[in-house]
């Protein structure tokens, strides 16, 4: 696979391939020196046009553990501020000899556009409301490992997952729904009508606006961040009312099944969607998602850049 731009492009076979590789990377990360020479001499550039902490650091950690050289292109101090176009930027940086770009941009579709302008691999770290494929892969990896299941095309069969909150503006929700259902899970989307995308009826999900109706009946509760920066209009009357209906508070937490996993992609809005401290929950795997993120991104980088015969375990 040359690029990782979306879950549909990756397909179910690709998802399973990455999940299998991720198991190997988890093992690498447990070693006293968690580093392998798989990508020695390759340069990976992170190109983030939108704020990020965990995703950028996670990718850079992953690249370093595979011994790649890493560079960060920081938009706020770059020639983009002098009016340089996206095309000129990518062509200039490519000319320095880059194996892969990790790209985050507020506009949907940018990763596809960039791949027309460079021979390097493109890894999508989030484009607009559209896709965030590595988040979906790390979420699949987290769920199936917590359930003790090996990677396979139906490793999430029989798992019922509620995705709660601002689905409309969420690239995480879109990518997760595609990946979870591809692996056999059933998904129920829980949101106020104004935070659902108009095309939700074409998605392979159930839809409800009543969290209390489903909360006691799911295997995974996936809370989304309220995306205040992506809202052009007032889609909820006020955040307090949103929290009352869609936030995870103590009462709702007490109704979760004992084995129900609680997940969040981060960054969390405490007091908005998360009214409880995740550490007070029996099975919050939010920190696990972050640590799995490194292993899954190592798997993605290796899949995209590793030579077919390079020795990852040496
Ligand atoms: C997500 C993102 O940026 O899409 N965060 C992340 O990658 N960890 C989710 C979000 O910002 O709500």
- Return the best residue to mutate from 135, 168, 286 for the ligand 1 pocket (most ligand atoms within 8 A of CB): 135
Q: Looking at the DSSP assignment, which residues form a beta bridge with residue 131?
A: 127
Q: Is 34 exposed, middle or buried (0-12, 13-18, 19+ CB in 10 A)?
A: middle
- Residues of the chain with pLDDT > 90, as a percent, come to 84
Work out the average pLDDT over 193-222.
Answer: 97
Ligand 1 touching residue 253 (CB < 6 A): no
User: pLDDT by residue (tens digit) across 71-104?
Assistant: 998 777 667 767 678 899 899 999 999 999 999 9
pLDDT in tens, 157-192: 999 999 999 999 999 999 999 999 999 999 999 999
Q: What is the CA radius of gyration of the chain?
A: 19
What's residue 309's pLDDT? 39
56 CB within 6 A, ligand 1: no
pLDDT of residue 234: 67
Distance 63 CA to ligand 1 centre (A): 20
Q: What are phi and psi of 259, to 5 degrees?
A: -95, 5
Q: Which atom of ligand 1 is nearest to the CA of 55?
A: 7
Segment 238-279, tens digit of pLDDT: 788 889 999 999 999 999 999 999 999 999 999 999 999 999
The pLDDT of residue 312 is 52
Give the position, in ligand 1's atom list, of the atom nearest the Cα of 172. Answer: 4
Hey, what domains does the chain have and what are their CATH numbers? 7-132+291-305 (3.40.50.1370), 133-286 (3.40.50.1370)
Pick the more confident residue, 220 or 76: 220
Residues 6+ apart with CB under 8 A from 77: none
């Amino acid at each position: 696979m040359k690029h990782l731009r979306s879950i549909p492009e990756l397909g179910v076979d690709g998802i399973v391939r990455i999940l299998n590789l991720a198991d190997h990377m988890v093992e690498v990360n447990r070693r006293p020196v968690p580093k392998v020479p798989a990508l020695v001499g390759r340069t990976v550039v992170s190109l983030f046009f939108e704020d990020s902490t965990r995703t950028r650091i996670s990718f850079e950690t992953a690249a370093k553990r595979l011994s790649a050289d890493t560079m960060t292109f920081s938009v706020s101090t770059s020639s983009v501020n002098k009016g340089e176009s996206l095309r000129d930027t990518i062509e200039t940086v490519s000319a320095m000899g880059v194996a892969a770009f990790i790209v985050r941009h507020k506009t949907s579709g940018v990763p596809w556009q960039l791949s027309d302008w460079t021979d390097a691999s493109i890894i999508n770290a989030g484009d607009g409301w559209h896709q965030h494929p590595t988040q979906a892969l790390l979420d699949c990896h987290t769920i199936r490992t917590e359930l003790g299941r090996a990677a396979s095309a139906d490793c999430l069969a029989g798992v019922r997952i509620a995705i709660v909150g601002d689905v409309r503006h969420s690239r995480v929700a879109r990518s997760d729904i595609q990946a979870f259902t591809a692996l056999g899970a059933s998904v129920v989307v829980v949101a106020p009508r104004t935070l659902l995308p108009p095309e939700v009826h074409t998605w392979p999900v159930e839809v409800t606006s009543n969290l209390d109706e489903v909360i006691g009946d799911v295997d995974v509760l996936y809370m989304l961040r309220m995306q205040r920066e992506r809202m052009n209009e007032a889609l909820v009357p006020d955040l307090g009312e949103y929290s009352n209906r869609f936030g995870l508070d103590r009462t709702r937490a007490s109704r979760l099944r004992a084995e129900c996993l609680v997940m969040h992609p981060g960054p969390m809005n405490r007091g908005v969607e998360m009214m409880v401290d995740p550490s007070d929950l029996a099975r919050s795997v939010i920190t696990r998602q972050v640590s799995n993120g490194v292993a899954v991104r190592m798997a993605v980088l290796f899949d995209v850049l590793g030579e077919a015969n390079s020795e990852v375990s040496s």
